[in-house]
Amino acid sequence: MDLCVCEILDKQGVSKIKVYTTNKKFKKLVTIVEGIDKAQLEHTTKELKHKLACGGTSKEGVIILQGDHKKRVADVLKSLGYLGESIEIR
């Protein structure tokens, strides 16, 4: 198990990660992150909330962060081991 690179390979998969903002209830702006593997979803959500200093949740395979964090999410995801080419910011 010490030599396993399974976690690294999961993060470097061919799936696209989409990051965009939208308005929710009472015109509050939230940042949506789609495309994270379900096995990494909870850990990635926790790290994003911690490093961006915001609230948020993960529901139905999507991470919802409170506020506009489009510009900073890509850097945090790269530091967590996700490929920069797979991150698409709209």
Domains along the chain with CATH numbers: 6-89 (3.30.780.10)
The tokens describing 87, both together, are 């991150």
pTM across the whole model: 0.80
pLDDT tens figures, 35-64: 998 888 999 999 999 999 999 999 998 999
CB atoms closer than 10 angstroms to residue 89: 13
Report which of residues 72 and 14 the model is more confident about.
72
Q: Whole-angstrom Cα distance, residue 48 to residue 13?
A: 19
